[in-house]
Amino acid sequence: MQAFETYAQQIIKQEQIPGVGIGINEQGTTTYDHGFGYRNIAKNKPVTNDTIFGIGSMTKSFTCVAIMQLQEAGKLSVHDPVIKYLPKLRVPHPTYGEKITIHHLMTHTSGIPPLKSHVYARKRSVDQDPAAKDYGLNLVNNQGRPIDTYDDLIQYLADESYKLLGKPGTEYSYANDTYGLLAAIIEKVSEQTYDEYLKTNIFQPLKMTRTFILLDELENFDNITELYIKKQSDDNPTVYAAPVWWDAPALRATGYIKSTVTDILNYLNSLLGIANNPAILSQESIDQLFHPHVEYEPGKYYGYGFRITPNYTDGITLIEHGGGLKGVSSMMCLIPEKQLTATILTNLSSVPADRILLGALNNRLGKPFDYKRIEYKTTPLKAEKLENYAGTYASEEGMKVTFSIKNEQLMIKEKTEDIPLSYMGNNEFFIPENNQYVRFIKNKHGNIERVFYKHRQINKITT
- Average pLDDT of the chain to the nearest whole number: 95
Q: What is the pLDDT of residue 34?
A: 97
Is the pLDDT confidence value at 103 over 70? Answer: yes
Banded pLDDT at 405 (limits 50, 70, 90) = very high
**Does the model's pTM come out above 0.75?**
yes
Q: What is the pLDDT of residue 234?
A: 62
Average pLDDT for 310-338: 96
Is the pLDDT confidence value at 144 over 70? Answer: yes
Q: 114-132 pLDDT, tens per residue?
A: 999 999 999 999 999 999 9
Q: What is the pLDDT of residue 14?
A: 95
Interatomic CA distance for residues 338 and 32, integer angstroms? 15
Task: Return the minimum-mean-pLDDT range out of 21-25, 105-109, 212-216, 431-435.
Answer: 431-435
Contacts of 291 (CB under 8 A, 6+ apart): 303, 304, 308
Q: 155-195 pLDDT, tens per residue?
A: 999 999 999 999 999 999 999 999 999 999 999 999 999 99
The proportion of the chain whose per-residue pLDDT surpasses 70, expressed as a percent, equals 100
Query: Residue 384: is it exposed, middle or buried by C-beta count within 10 angstroms (0-12/13-18/19+)?
Result: exposed
Contacts of 376 (CB under 8 A, 6+ apart): 298, 422, 424, 430, 435, 437
Average pLDDT for 342-364: 97
CA angle 445–446–452, rounded 5-degree value: 120
For the chain, the residue count is 463
Phi, psi of 100 (to 5 degrees): -70, 125
Domains of the chain: 1-374 (3.40.710.10), 383-462 (2.40.128.50)
Interatomic CA distance for residues 323 and 320, integer angstroms? 10
